[in-house]
Structure 1
Amino acid sequence: MSESVYQVLLIDDDEDDYIVTQDLLQEAEQASFELTWVETYQDGLEALNANLHDVYLLDYCLGAETGLDLLQAAVEAGLRKPIILLTGLGNYDIDRQSMAMGASDYLVKGNQLTGPLLERSILHAIERSQAEAQIHLLTHVLQSIQDGVYMATEAGELLFLNQSLRQLCACPVQPVFDKTLDPLEYPILQQLLSQGNRQNCHTKKSSILKTELFLESSPGLSRTILLSESWVKVQQNTLRFGLIHDITERTQAELERDRFFNIAIDLLFIANVDGIFKRINPSWYATLGYTVDELLNQSFWEFMLPADQSSRQNLQDTLTKGKEVNSLEIRVRAKDGSYKWIAWNLVPFPQENLLYGSGRDITQSKASEARLTYETLHDSLTGLDNRVCSLNRLEIAINNQRRRPYEHFAVLFVDLDNFKHINDSLGHLAGDQLLIQVAERLKTVVRGVDAVARLGGDEFLILLEKLTNLNDALKTVYRLQQELQKPFHLESREIFTSASIGIVFSDLSYQSVNEIIRDADIAMYRAKSQGKASYAVFDQEMYLQTLHLVETESALRKAVRNKEFRLYYQPLVNLKSPHQLQGFEVLLRWHHPDKGFISASDFIPIAEETGQIKFIDKWVLRTACEQLKTWQIEGKAEEGLYISINLSGQQFRDPSLIQELDIILAETQLDPQCLKLEITESSLIHEIQSAKKIMESIRNRGVELSLDDFGTGFSSLRYLQQFPISTIKIDRSFVEGLQNCERNLRIISAIVNLAKALGFKTIAEGIESQEQLIELQILACDASQGYLFAKPLSATEVENYLPQCMTGT
């Protein structure tokens, strides 16, 4: 007996029937049953809805209702468990009606109903119910899958179509098992079944049909499907089971892939894992000239040049691991013998034992990249190395000497003399042509191991390598100077130029390129200060001087901001007794916070070179005018007392000088006649007419002008008489040797006589002795200044000095 215990519910209003049924079930031999009993229709309906039993036994008579009523209620509620109807009457109509309504069996109570019969009916009902449940589940699965499924007889009579196939064939929705659907009415079904008929006529129904079909499911809508049909023997019948997989999208994708494969500009290929070509696209012919027949069964790796073969094994190892290789740039030899740069992307597909590759022709971009690299490292005008390239070469030279200290190098910093004048007078095009010709000459002088670069403008840098000593570099410098002294021909003109050259000879103390360029630049400026066509070899003294210049420039900037300058006033006295005070020359001193007082001669040249003099000059002019006006207001200075202020060359040429002078005089309310401005000869020798206009503008405002340091520069009597000056100051260098040098005496005498002839007054600078005073008085010099009368005085000292002058003491 089976170990299964089935739960049975009896719905019967007669308790005797319950007892009889229980006795019958105890006679069961194949299974065990546990019987539960309810006696009313309502209790039975609730039990059916609870669905807790394996099988239900319904008595036909249930009071006012019948078992058929209860059966109908159970079916409508969706109960799928087996139901057996019991009745005391053997009525065929009731039997047929109950079976039609969904009963599993119909049994007549009484002597004819035995235990084995009841057991067999229950077990068969349970088996049928389970089979129907499995069929229902299978049908649900078949209906829910996307692939089409059908079942048909050998003759082509349809037994089943799932919904996917119905939609594909445009069939109406039918019951699951439907023998009324005529394939002749639906061309797609007819086409599918006919494929199976043709196939199996040849194979004697022993194989599975697999074929690809093109179907038109509706006008204008076509599909591509993959049909798989099996013929299966079931008892005495042969059934056909078909599976239709819609491959339209896949087929379309394959077509698009093939179309792309054929029209792609890039070189495409499919190869096996060893790189043997299985398929290539037409771009191979367009790019490299190879036909399909020439490439098939050839190896991709054979297209790598010998120089690239060293990386082949690593690439193959990478692909074997299933990893992609991207942006592999190699040169490939074309059929015509030329070479193309191709950038490859290689993708392995180990599951297919295939290698996919795409290559893009980057020959033009490589050429552009090379051209861009060249332009990045070379001067566009001369074709020489540019600053970036030259600094890179110099860095390499420094590193090479560290490894081989016995091999030296030298750097020549070359700057053309008077190039600006040539460029401005002949034009920039001529200037460019001159630079090009200079570059060509420089290249002819140096060796193959040397390098010539243009840093910018008219500056060139030459790197001489593999030298034994400094003399090797100097020999090249001599040749350079000789070559550059030859005439240049520009636009039918013969032009001459020269160059100032700074030289740095290598030693192990240099740690950076910037240090060498700095020192070469310093040496070049030293050469330029020596005159045209000169050279200078850098030494430590040059560096210290330059360092002093840089430090002084920085300190000057701070001095302007921190107001570290002081004004001193040196008396200007009449040489005629009683040596009356006429005014003061304003002198500038720098009170450095660390170095103390610094003389103007030590910092003014640096201030002029760095441009700081502009701010200093304005401060001096305003401060001195304010100071004199203050003394006048306080009654400490007489009305005729004046101050004499030096104008630097930059201040004199400053376009804003006149406007600045007007503002200061207006704001300080100082009488212009109390102000004199001193100008050196060097400020006047350039642009004479412009200088004359500036001086006239100053003189028109009532401010007198003095010519300072007369006799030390280039004095032209022609221009001297044109300048609106009132005073000539005789330089101290003539006064110092006055009593011991007859020549100085004659020079001063000539200057005084010249001044008187032109209507100028004279002031002698630097009188320190009584003997000098007597000589100058004899020469009829008008006034003087010097330590004999007073040293330069601070503002406070002037305030103590002025009362003495007013009392004549």
Structure 2
Amino acid sequence: MDRFSWVVEKGNEGLWDWDLPAGRIHFSPRWQALVGGEGSCGSSPEEWFGRIPPDEREAVRSAIDARLKERCGRFELEHRLLHADGSRRRVSCTGIITRDPDGRAVRVAGAHTDITASVAVDPETGLAGRSFFLDRAARSLLASQRDPAFVFAVILLAIDRPEAAEGPSETGGALVSAAARRLETRMKAGYRPSSSGRDHAIAHAGAGEFLILLEGLGGADEAQAVADRLLGEMAEPFRVGDREIFAAVSAGTAVSASGYENPEDMLRDADTALHRARSLGGGRAEFFDTAGLEAARRERALQSDLRRALGEGELRVVYQPIVDLSSSRIAGFEALLRWRHPERGEVSPAEFIPVAERTGLIGPIGLGVLREACRQVKAWRKSAPGAGGVWVSVNVSPAQLRGESFVREAADILRDEAYAGDGLVLEVTESGIMENTQAAVRILMQLRLAGVRVAIDDFGTGHSSLSRLCGLPLDFLKIDPSFVRGTESGGDMLEVVRSISGLAGRLGLGVIAEGIETPALLERVRSLGCGYGQGFLFSRPVEREAAAALLEGGTIGVEERALPAARREGAPGRRRGGGRWNIKWGLAALAALVLLGMGYLGGGPDKAPPAPVATLAVEPGAPGPGIQAQARAEAPPPAAPKEEAPPADYSFPVIHDHRFGSCGGRLRLTSDTLSYLGGKKECRFSAGRSAYTCRIEDGKIVIRTEGRTYRFHPEGDSPETHARRLGEIQRYISRLHPEASR
């Protein structure tokens, strides 16, 4: 059995990784759970051998030492382990030995399997798992198809913010376990089985979400009443240790009806209702209704387009450089997914990735990106001078980490592509790890044993703490762009980034600062100890050919990029330019200053029209000015009737349309930015003039930024007022920010 197959086979076992020269073993959360030492296990080999009963301990040590000296590649043995509760578990032990060129053993990757266990349940709650629930719901669905009078429902109940209740000694798991016990008790008391087919089942779906099956209902109203009652009961404080903890809980309900062909569809609709409950503020139970049907219809249309896009090559991978700040050389690239729809044009990842996650399409999409990244890093390392150490990082969705087949499929790709070395980095969001830490860490540890490196993406935006980093199998930490931008004002944010960078360095982790957009920010993150940087200052995401050209160019210079952020964000890509490029920018700036001094750039009604000006333009599709650019003269536009100049600061009353509901606010337009000042904090945004696009679609203003799509309509009761204000907003945006309307 090769190494990849072993990693896949042992994925659900208690994994460990033994650094022999250092005398340290990293134990996975599953291994710690196996011995009842969650959170208390150190990294000494005695954590393992000290738990072996004395009458077996020396025999096990001798057997392993003999295998290490015999120059064999692996070993297998059985022994007992003492559990924290005093019991003894019979385990099988497998180890894969790594040796240096001289044949000395330097590393052992292994796994323990509990072979005394006879019943498998969810280890966190003791409840059944998702697969059991689906089997039970399938039987209920068959019963309802045979007898239309048999009504059942699925309730998806979620603890929205278990992390808010965590203290220094409690974990989210303690709260989830307490919630599971209460659900069991209240359901047994309030929904008893009967001969009329009345019964229930409870399962834990992971990440603090519970599935509740209600059979033999009197109607849909009863299902909603049960959900409302459960929310009231779950709102009571939980006793965790010596503390009382309150948890925010929401629920979504779907009732059996004609048209359901499988239980997964019911779970999907219950999830849609849960999403609506959360979007309305949480702490409530929502029923899947026609509003949900309309949202589901739109999502199914996007899902259908996405499936077609997979087959017709509309999805593509672009690459954004990650720069070594000490040498200004490209250390790696982040692989980013883009979708060019034949009718809608570019579709934002913020719009289609959540749909892919909810519908399961993220699996094949993510694996496709992984395969492309493996091929690309091999090609670059082979062809580009000095690119032997370049890597490509790939984002891994939390939905992929929840999939049981992800490790096996990823290992198949690594084997098929003859992957070797450290050229692949998997980026996982902080919240993605924390929603099911044990499962995520187990999967990431398996992949690390296969040679892949791991990074936490957008660190600081989730709900972990710096101390938790010590227990995670990591290689890099990426600081969220909002933290990086926050250092410009100094103060607390500056110290936060300094602390993150310092702790990461002491843990041996590389630090990547995201969102570097100005030379000042670059110097700031360098001074704070960040080893790597990523952002528009270096380059926008570019196609693979342009990325190869960036690699061939060696270092990326940024001295010539001391430009306003809004102008810089409009560039289609950047890399260092030669002396001629600097001269061109200098001449253009000099010409602008001269014209400004002559009064030709003021735009006032008494000023003469501007003379033809030499401007720098990048050819369509070019990756950046340092790769393919040319100067061309543009003739002045034809004379037009004089209009009143638009105000420097303009505000429009608008309604922001949510997926469910809306909020009122104002769109504020200045010469540099477009902002939304809304009633809800999470809806507000501010974008530079070249950092967004504006379109009129179906009578609404559609604003697309790098990470999100917003839809607004003007305030106004009559169609005439609506149309007039819509045209007014579009006109001022096109005049003040013409690049946004192209």
TM over 0.5: no
TM-score category of the 2 structures, normalised to the smaller one: 0.3 to 0.5
Q: Which has the larger radius of gyration?
A: 1
Pick the structure with more helix per residue. Answer: 1
Bigger relative contact order (CA 8 A; separation at least 6): 2
Name the TM-score, length of structure 2 as normaliser.
0.42
Name the TM-score, length of structure 1 as normaliser.
0.39
